[in-house]
Structure 1
């Protein structure tokens, strides 16, 4: 593991200031021009609604978001480029000097990574001078939305696999090279066992696995020669890809190989039919120790079906369906102003109502430890007896609070969180709704501000 407290997945983590939308910078300039630079503002991040066929989310991406936020800055080159843009024409030179010195110096409270969360709950609370708080909106949403989407998808697969090993194979299908890094991390913290992504494994200290491509088999005169050559080069850890030509004949050749390898991988076809036949061939050849790994556009529904059929598959390689979250590739995560100088702020647009004031989220469990419902309350309300507060401080005045958890600790938290989910929320097609309510004070604050507009 790296000795640094945060692992940045950016190529230049010291010049991330312009990784944002233009309107964040124009608003920043406008606040300064209007003398509002010293006003304190609180923004909150939450998810408006669950993606289709989801009953929960797993919050992820906080380590990179906070680590990069704490050193967010503009390089001199970037400032000089912005000075020449038409959007900033006429702004005083002091604005560009402000950009050179600009750092995030606010407070951040957040729900810990690996926590199961639900719509309408504050995930991150940012309190800072208004220009700073506005500046970081796009950056935070971009840092948190995709990892949360992938971790949530991964968690559904972990549940559906019923204890079978899961390997993240999605780098080549991710939406850009950095997305592959983010996806590998999100999948691992949600319960996947390893990744095929070499740089993600190196940076994050997680297990790296791999097999071979069909091109390896095609490069040799015969399938048997390809298997023999691979086993010679990698005698202690060999997974042989057996479906380049005829899958079951490939299994027979793998079973006859010396050494036979540690596993065979089936990447196509009817896995529920092929896996028992492959297992029988391996067992008949005295290869009971050789495992079967399956892959090929698998999602949580396919994993559930294979588990229900008791297919003798030991592990799964998951790529496209995970890193793209193909059935629900977007998440309605938003960043909204809730408080200015101690006064509440709301949004009243249809379908986009927000609640005012800084908030805390409390979780209730039943006597057996299963989640029973959440309460969203004002941050300054007395904590209800017996409920667990979820938001904790991570930055104070722009500085880290305490030691960030390791990825192993985040992974363990996620495992415990998934175990505490009500059973009705675990099925891939679950339409169940988890109870999230708002405190009477928040409801009264919202009503007062609505009627006052």
Structure 2
């Protein structure tokens, strides 16, 4: 069976979602509306923020969600589901609402980045696919942004497809990496699907095919004079690879070929030492504009180390440690029930835990980003969905970590973060192209997010505050937890 023939990702769910949905269908009103929040609990790699990615794929999934005859028969063969429930699935379409941050939004732990409001069974069935998209793409976008920052203005490209966990991880990982700030990808299908710039030249096999390295370089330069990045570490970088590259560059120059993009790539060895010496050799030969590209198990830490050692690098090709986020490969977003509609109004629900960080924020909520006069984001504010935030006068808020302190926002402005994305099962919001999402990320980091939050080590904590009314509601629910309802 080829799973890529008419693949239906609607079935990409955990079995417990179906068993719960079957139970709701048999015992409850399946049309009762509920609300679930998607949020995460900590930033990867000890960072100060994360980047929201994957929204477009969530929308595509929800708009196309259905169960085929083959899906129904497979589920019937599990002997766990009522026939009436299976017939319900046969005509299934998502008819709920989705509110979410714009894709590319800088986000922080504990905030509802996506909220699904839908009939009970529908809301329960969408959990796994939504989390899979948010967890994967947000993780890779956040990792990519860290790597791009470590390059200090030098170009970074995604070279990770062959080390990705599978082809979907490679394609959507390339999309997420571009959102995070890389300049392009080596993954051709990602370039085709998402209009991401693609790049790449040669591997060692091209050089090894020929009897000698110089012949291979000459062949390649004759075919691709304007994309002539020669891989110089097949045999010996400084004694053979770079001298042969210089010889080919000189031959091109003598023939009047003015390459728009030429240089060398080094994929092994002491990259700091090799790039310094290679730069000296290229400059001495008169090729001061020849680029030096490096690859080989790079991440933000190795890149920073190479540059701190004086490495001479123009661009980086980053593979496995980007596409798998090797240093912290789990993002940890969760999907939690926060409200149930009762008598026409949404009643809040809260999950209690002995671990404070696992206690959820109940009810339908709004999240506002608060800005000072200079346009810097000084905090995020969680309120009840029905609250109005008026910052024309000092606005008192509660820091849930230090609730005893009396604090107010003064001379500030607010921006509502969640927007309506899907209403009644149909997308009602424009979904920007990845190039525009990348620009949005860059604009936030350049103008809104404090440099102190962007530090790799011990970043400043971004405050996620609560309105007094919302904080009191949550505390009241905690105080009444475990007590029978009257």
Assess, with a 3 A threshold, how the Cα gap between structure 1 residues 235 and 345 changes in structure 2: closer, same or farther.
same
| CA distance in structure 1 between the aligned counterparts of 2:5 and 2:50, rounded to whole angstroms | 30
Structure 1 residues 147 and 360, CA, compared in 2 at 3 Å: closer, same or farther? same
Of 109, 120, 129, 1:119 maps to 109
2:430 maps to which residue? 403
Does 46-55 or 319-328 show the bigger shift?
Answer: 46-55
Task: Determine the C-alpha separation between the residues in 2 that align with 1:220 and 1:34.
Answer: 71
Counterparts in 2 of 1:67-106, with a 5 A limit?
Answer: 67-88=60-81, 91=82, 93-106=83-96
Q: CA–CA distance in 2 between the matches of 1:300 and 1:162?
A: 10
Indicate if the aligned counterparts of 1:256 and 1:285 stay in contact, CA closer than 8 A: no
Q: In terms of mean alpha carbon deviation, does 290-299 or 44-53 score higher?
A: 44-53
CA distance in 2 between partners of 1:404 and 1:50 (Å): 25
**Alignment RMSD (CA, Å):** 1.7
Once the two structures are TM-superposed, the CA of residue 235 in structure 1 deviates from its matched residue by 2.4
User: Does the CA contact (< 8 Å) of 2:53 and 2:141 recur in 1?
Assistant: yes
The equivalent position to 2:228 in structure 1, one of 234, 238, 242, is: 238
> What are the residue-to-residue correspondences of 1:338-377 with 2, within 5 Å?
338-341=338-341, 342-351=346-355, 352-377=358-383
- Counterpart CA distance in 1 for 2:203 and 2:270 is 20
Return the alpha-carbon distance in structure 1 between the equivalents of residues 99 and 359 of structure 2.
22
Residues 416-448 of structure 1 deviation map (CA, whole Å, 9 limit, x = unaligned)? 122232112222223432111122222222222
Partner of 2:274: 274
Q: Per-residue displacement from partner, 1:366-404 (whole Å, max 9, x unpaired)?
A: 333222111111121103431111101100001111321
Q: Distance in 1 between matches of 2:91 and 2:191?
A: 35
Asked if the contact 1:20–1:139 (Cα under 8 Å) also holds between the matched residues in 2, the reply is yes
Q: TM-score, normalised to structure 2's length?
A: 0.88
In structure 2, the CA distance between the partners of 1:11 and 1:68, relative to structure 1 (3 Å rule), is farther
How far did residue 43 of structure 1 move? 0.4
Per the alignment, residue 108 of structure 1 pairs with 98
Q: 2:414 aligns with which of 377, 383, 387?
A: 387
Match of 2:443 among 412, 416, 441: 416
Tell whether the 8 Å contact from 1:160 to 1:428 is kept in structure 2 after alignment.
no
Instruction: Output the CA distance in 1 between the equivalents of 2:284 and 2:445.
Output: 39
CA distance in structure 1 between the aligned counterparts of 2:203 and 2:376, rounded to whole angstroms: 43
Q: How far apart are residue 16 of structure 1 and its match?
A: 2.2
Partner of 1:40: 33
Q: 1:66 matched to which residue of 2? A: 59
- State the alpha-carbon separation in 2 of the partners of residues 52 and 239 from structure 1: 33
Q: Which moved more, 1:390-399 or 1:242-251?
A: 242-251
Partner of 2:454: 426
Length-normalised TM-score, structure 1: 0.94
- SS of the residue corresponding to residue 445 of structure 1 reads helix
Q: CA deviation at 1:11?
A: 4.7
Measured after TM superposition, the shift of residue 223 of structure 1 is 1.0
Match for 2:464 among 426, 436, 447? 436
| Paired residues of 2:47 and 2:455 also in contact (CA < 8 A) | no
Shift in Å at residue 12 of structure 1? 6.6
Aligned length: 441
Structure 2 spans left out of the alignment, 5+ residues: 254-260, 392-412
CA distance in 2, matches of 1:388, 1:211: 45
1:322 maps to: 322
Output the CA distance in 2 between the equivalents of 1:35 and 1:423: 51
2:29 counterpart SS class: coil
Structure having the higher Rg: 2
Q: Distance in 1 between matches of 2:461 and 2:79?
A: 48
Q: What's the CA shift string for 1:83-135, capped at 9, x where partnerless?
A: 111322xx1x2211111111111110100111111100110011000110011
Q: 1:167 — aligned with what?
A: 157
Q: Where do residues 244-259 of structure 1 align in structure 2 (5 Å cutoff)?
A: 244-248=234-238, 249-257=240-248, 258-259=251-252
Distance 2:211 2:456 in 1: 44
Contact 1:272 1:309 (C-alpha < 8 Å) held by counterparts: yes
User: CA separation of 1:22/1:78 partners in 2, compared to 1, >3 Å: closer, same or farther?
Assistant: same
Instruction: Please state how far the C-alpha of 1:239 moved relative to its aligned partner.
Output: 1.2
> CA 1:365–1:186 in structure 2 vs 1: closer, same or farther (change >3 Å)?
same
The Cα offsets for residues 332-351 of structure 1, whole Å up to 9 and x where unpaired, read as 20000000011110000222
Contact 1:50 1:332 in 2 (8 A): no
